Each structure stands twice: as C-alpha cells, then as structure tokens.
Chains A and B, each alone.
Chain A
Amino acid sequence: MLETSKDHWTARFVEVIARASTQLPPDVVEALRRGRQREQEGSMAAKALDTVLRNIELAGGTWQPICQDTGTPLVWIHHPVGMSTRMLTSAFEEAVRQATARQLLRPNAVDPLRDKNTGNGAAPGIPTVHCEEWDEDAVEVRMMLKGGGCENVGAQYTLPNPALKADRNLEGVKRCILDAIYKAQGKGCAPGIIGACFGGDRGSGYAESKRQLLRRLDDRNPIPELDAMEQEIFEKANQLGIGPMGFGGVTTVLGVKIGYLGRLPASYFVSVSYMCWANRRAGARFATDGTVTWLE
C-alpha cells in the first residue's frame, strides 16, 4: 500500500526538487560536452561552454542551484486509482515552499495583482501540477524547472504564415520552429532545447510543447515523420550560427522534441517552448514496497 499522508509526499517531493535544481541529467551534460568538442578552440563559444560545464560540476558537487532562476516548477504525477490528487498537489505546493526556504529554489512567484513577490515560491498557478491516474501500483513524478529567460523566448504561430511561406502542413510547422529559434538568438541561454506542439488550442498547445521537454535528449520520436522533422530541424538550427549564449558558433540547439494534438478546422497553432541549456529535469518512481527509482 502506498503512503497517503501529505507530509510523506511533501518530503519525497522536496528530494525531487533538490535533484532537479542541482543535478543536471547525464544526457544533457553529454550533449553539452559534444557541443563543446565541435566549437573552435579558443573561441567565445568554446569558453562559454567551458564555463557552463564547470558550473554544472560545481552545482552537482555541492547540491546548490545550477542556475539562480530556478523557474516555475512544472510537474506531471502519475498515481494509482483512488489516490487523492488534492493531497498530491497540496504536497507538491508545500514542497516548493520548503525548497524555497532552503534556498534550493529562489522565491520566484510574483503576484501581479499586488505587484509583489510572494516570498515563498507559490502564487496562483505556481507550481504547475498535472495529475493523471494509471493502473500501476506506484507513483511516478516527473518534473522540470523552467526559467523566465527561456520562457520569454517561446513563441506561438498560426498557419498559414505568409511571411515564412509556411502552409498548413509539416513543412509549415518546421518553418515556424526554425523561425522561433532564430528569433530567440542567445537570449534563452543557448544552446537551447526545443519543445514544440502542432495543433491544440493556444493553451493546450503550449502545455504539450513543454511536456515534450521531459524527453531525454538522446531519445528518438517513435513516429517516423516527427523523428525526421526533429533531426532536420536540429541540423538546420545548428547551421544558423547563433551558438552558445548567442556568441556565434555551431552549437545553437541541443535537441528538438515535437508532439501534436487535435485541432479545430479553423485553427492551426504551432507552439514552441524554448528550454535553456540547463534542462533541469528530475523524476522518481515510488513503489509500494518503499523503493525509490530515480528516472533519467
């Protein structure tokens, strides 16, 4: 039987948040190392990535935040039939407050009505918690921290887009994504990771584009057309020459992950979420026998 007390889950969630904030997943580190190898020795791009890699090591070793913008915590929780989603949501919200008090997270929630930072990391809508029931007898938590710098360079397009010569087809979707990467320049802390969704409405499209960012960088899309599109955009984006931090270079994106949702006949949205190089994902599976498996 899985625990049902809020305090139990709050403590588990604080551990997941600590990991997300301070330990960069190995596939992301590997992608950054490969990028560094491809940059010209002595270039601004190479030095930028050297600093990034040193920072990751420092943060990981001391369990301090990789980046000071610990972002909005977004979490997807799968839970067994009958487990209270209100309890899980409330536990995660409390975990965010505790992690903020411990400087694992920066106080990052501003109430725009009162124009004041709430001081404890929580505000209407923050953190963003998605709960989904499943048949397994375990709780699986997957979360990410997504900062403001990269959030600000996300974009949503409507097709057709005449300026980009983009029609309502996969080719059009691809053009929008490349345009979004160009427009972001280095401002999202390139090299970035792109999560995109074609279809959906203005809300669901963005939400799905962010869920795509939970994928490992070295995974492949099981749908052949989308796999081909991901690979093509990855290649072409790295030809733009924006480079790490926008200093110029060959490492502009570390990965491209694309999903889709049904759409209205009248609407065709392409939602692009830009994640910075500090793709702070963490996940864990909590089984009934008490074992915890960390997910990468």
Chain B
Amino acid sequence: MKLHLPCDEATIRSLKVGDFVELSGRMITGRDAAHHWLVKKLREEVLPLMRGSVIYHVGPVVKKHDDGTYSFVAAGPTTSAREEPYQAEVIGRYGLRGVIGKGGMGPKTLAGLKEHGAVYFHAIGGAAQVLAQAVKRVETVFQLEEFGVPEALWVIEVEDFPVVVTMDSHGGSLHAEVDAASKSKLEELLGLSA
C-alpha cells in the first residue's frame, strides 16, 4: 500500500505488523547525535518538518554538487536499538507518525507507538542503493557542521520508499515474537530448557 507523508493518526493506526508500505513525501533523518539534540531542547526549526511525518535512522553517503545541492548516494537504515532511550519522547514531542530503521526497538518505544499513534517501519538493512533511489531530493540539512554527514538531520523527499511494519500502534512487535521463538529453539538445541 502507498502512504503519503505527512499523514494522520487514523491512517497510521490502521497499519499492522506485516504490512508492506511505500512511503512518499517529506521525511527527516536522524541517528545518535540527532536524538540527543532533539531531546535536549525542543528544536523549533525542525518541529514543523517533523509533525505528521517520520524519522529515518540512517547515516547516508552524500554527494555535494557544485551548485551546493546534495544527493544521497547510499542510504540503507542503521540499527535503531541505540535510539531506544529517546525514541518515545521524540515521537511525542515532535508529533511523529513513524520511525524507519532496522532491527526493531524495545518496549519503551512500543508503548510510545501505542500512546502517540505511530508505527515502526523496517527498511531492508544494507539495501543502500535501492533506498537511495527512492530519495528524490535533499531539501535541506541541520547540524551538518557539528555532527558530520552520517549524523546530520537531512530533510529529504522520497517516492515509493519501501518498508514493512514490524511494530504497530497496538502493541504488536515482530521482533518480540521472533526473539521469543528463537530463544525457545536455542534452549531446545542446547538442552537448556529442562
């Protein structure tokens, strides 16, 4: 299914684990340094750009052109787990409807998704070219000088950016399910369950 950003709460709450989605519209990127920065103080300059949209956990490879514009050369997701301490707060304060990343997130974020009406969109790890091709334009960037290319907050326009919902706004988490099932299997293989 196709989803245009920014979007409303009802649309997001209709999504569930396993739904394949293609996102189009504007989104912002951010990882470790960005999340610290976003929780330290309410950043008015990015608030209107984030409300109703999503944040993408990515450290892209970016090319700067002679005319001062930028292009994303490679843009697969980074591991989201590191943002677990901050994510729910960022979702709430900035009005985000989703988080894109890989590897999933934990119970604090899952609760935040339920409370605020957002989902976790899993992008395919390492699919840097496929995903870079979905980034049509780099609008602007925040904190480039301070954080460097991978950690800056890039505001981008995407078209048919492919993701799959692995954590929804109703407490569903594929990651929790797979962890539990694989743990049982390991205990069985190693004879630890007795």
Contacts and interface: CB of A to CB of B under 8 A. Distances in A.
Interface of A: 44, 47-48, 51-52, 54-55, 58-59, 62, 64-70, 103, 105-108, 110, 116-117, 119, 148-149, 152, 164-165, 175, 178-179, 182, 185-187, 189, 236, 239-243, 245-248, 276-278
A103 B63 contact: yes
Interface of B: 18, 20, 58-63, 73-76, 78-79, 81, 102-104, 122, 124-130, 132-133, 147-151, 162, 164, 166, 174-175, 177-179, 181-183, 185-186, 189-192
Given A66-B129, A149-B78, A117 B150 contact: yes
A238 to B, nearest CB: 11
A213 B189 CA distance: 25
Contacts, number: 161
Contact of A67 (B74, B147, B166): B74
Which among A54, A119, A185, A243 has the greatest number of chain B C-beta atoms within 10 A? A185
Nearest to A246: B178
B149 A164 contact: no
Nearest to A61: B129
27 contacts: A44-B18, A44-B164, A47-B20, A59-B129, A68-B60, A68-B128, A69-B59, A103-B63, A105-B61, A106-B150, A110-B148, A148-B79, A149-B103, A164-B190, A182-B182, A185-B103, A185-B175, A186-B104, A187-B79, A187-B81, A187-B103, A189-B125, A241-B178, A245-B124, A246-B104, A246-B178, A247-B122
Contacts of A110: 148
Given A67-B76, A68-B61, A246 B150 contact: no
B151 to A, nearest CB: 7
